[in-house]
Amino acid sequence: MSVSANQMTEEHPMEKLLRMDRIPHIWCPTCGLGTTVTALATAIDDLKLNYDNIAVVSGIGCTGRVAGYMKLDSFHTTHGRAIPFAVGLHIARPEMKTIVFSGDGDLVSIGGNHFIHTARRNVDMTVICVNNFIYAMTGGQVAPTTPLTARSSTSPYGNYEHPFNLPRLAASSGATYVARWTALHVRRLTQAIAEAISKKGFSFVEVIAPCSTLYARLNKLGSGLDLMKFYHDNAVIKHGADVNEVDIDFQSKIIVGKFVDIEKPTYLECLNEGNERVLGDKYKPWGGCNGDN
């Protein structure tokens, strides 16, 4: 099939949400980040959100670069601290959609404490975690998500540490929405991100993505595309699955779907209700500081 000249457009379909002056991006070909960023951009469009009212916060790593490519108010913070930075930002501007977009090492290793506590508080934000099972930016070191026996540059004889099961971690910490898809489930991933953004409270989407340059090579898994396809073809969709049963083993079946979708008052709702209950008229309800700038 060929594309005729009149079907071509000058404009990238996501141009309105991407900083085109920063393209080409730094990511390797066939890395799962491209489809994931597309899924976020499409979800924002599908929801018809006002672009002015969305903030993206990232930490450090390959995925940490996402904030820099989104044409939104965007913050590239320190390693592991995207979530607590976003907590402050959200409290200051609760009317905005706060989206943390970062990687597995950033969010659940160095940032693990912030992840569980922000889920516990049910702070109204969306966390998108691109899990490629490895520290990619720094050269393929073992991560808290690396499956048992998988090789990395610091587990050259195979990983012998038990990895995290991220949906279980998020759910047991208090998240109101938990889903997992692979980077090739683009339509379902887009829908999950849209649901997560719309969800009141701490919503979490894990995206299983190939690291073509490091994880695939170190484990002799073919190209990034081969790995992306493998994850997709070995995904078993099981909505409502028990999060205790969604661990990921090396190159085996991956259970995907929407695992948690519950209602719970958010941090700011609890703050306002709790203080009002005790202080009554003396309480000055917090609505953010939008009027201040």
Partner 1 sequence: MKADPNRVLTGSHYLDGNHACAEGAIAAGCTFFGGYPITPSTEIAERVSRRFPKVGGVFIQMEDELASMAAILGASSGGAKTMSCTSGPGFSLMMENFGLGIMLETPCVLVNVQRGGPSTGLPTLPGQADMMQARWGSHGDYEVIALAPDSPQESFELTIHAFNLSEKYRMPVLIMTDECVGHMTEKVVIPPADQIELVERKYTKKKPGEAWPYDPDDDGISPLLPVGKGYKFHITGLTHDERGYPVITAKAHEWNVKRLMDKVNDHVDDIIWLEEQDVDGAEVVVMAYGISSRVMQPAISRARKEGIKVGQIKMVTVWPFPEKRVRELAAKVKSLVMVEMNLGQVFLEMDRCAAGKCRTHLVGHFGGTVHKPDEIYDAIKEAVK
Rounded to a whole number of angstroms, the minimum distance from the CB of residue 93 to partner 1 is 4
Residue of the chain from 75, 164, 204, 215 that contacts partner 1 (CB under 8 A): 75
User: Among 10, 11, 263, 292, which residue interacts with partner 1 (rule: CB under 8 A)?
Assistant: 292
Tokens standing for 24?
């080409």
- Which is closer to partner 1, CB of 67 or CB of 235? 67
Helix, strand, or coil (residue 58): strand
Is residue 244 at the binding interface for partner 1, with CB under 8 A as the rule?
no
Three-state secondary-structure class, residue 69: helix
Residue 270 in the binding site for partner 1 (CB under 8 A)? no
Among 47, 49, 91, 186, which residue interacts with partner 1 (rule: CB under 8 A)?
91
Contact of 186 with 38, CB cutoff 8 Å: yes
Identify which of residues 262 and 289 has a Cβ nearer to partner 1 in the complex: 289
Binding mask 104-143 toward partner 1 (x if CB under 8 A, else -) reads: ---------xx--x--------------------------
Tell me the window of 39-47, 71-79, 127-135, 172-180 that interacts with partner 1 (CB under 8 A). Answer: 71-79
Which strand (E) or helix (H) includes residue 103?
strand 97-103
Q: Which range binds partner 1 by CB under 8 A, 143-151, 183-191, 205-213, 281-289?
A: 281-289
C-beta of residue 117 within 8 angstroms of C-beta of residue 87: no
Contacts with partner 1: how many residues (CB under 8 A)?
Answer: 48
Stretch that binds partner 1, among 146-154, 165-173, 215-223, 278-286 (CB under 8 A): 278-286
Three-class secondary structure of residue 221 per DSSP: coil
Give dist(CA 112, CA 183) in Å, integer. 23
If one asks whether residue 225 binds partner 1 (CB under 8 A), the answer comes out as no
Rounded distance between C-alpha atoms, residue 125 and residue 187, angstroms: 22
Under the binding rule (CB under 8 A), the answer on residue 290 touching partner 1 is: yes
Q: Is there binding between residue 52 and partner 1 (CB under 8 A)?
A: yes
For partner 1, the closer CB: 110 or 186: 110
Work out whether 288 is an interface residue with partner 1 (CB under 8 A).
yes
Contacts of partner 1 in 8-47 (CB under 8 A): 19, 21-22
Q: Which amino acid is at 156?
A: P
Does residue 62 touch partner 1 according to CB under 8 A? no
Q: How far apart are CA 250 and CA 48, in angstroms?
A: 39
Buried b (16+ CB within 10 A) or exposed e, 190-205: bbbbbbbbebebbbbb
Render 149-175 in DSSP notation, one character per residue. Answer: T--BTTBTT---SPPP-HHHHHHHHT-
CA-angle at 44, arms to 39 and 48, nearest 5°: 140
Instruction: Please say which residue, 85 or 230, places its beta carbon nearer to partner 1.
Output: 85
Q: Spell out the SS3 assignment of 6-44.
A: HHCCCCCCCHHHECHHHCCCCCCCCCCHHHHHHHHHHHH
Which residues of the chain form contacts with partner 1 (CB under 8 A)? Answer: 19, 21-22, 51-53, 55, 57, 67-68, 71-78, 80-81, 83-93, 95-96, 113-114, 117, 271, 275, 279, 282-284, 286, 288-290, 292-293
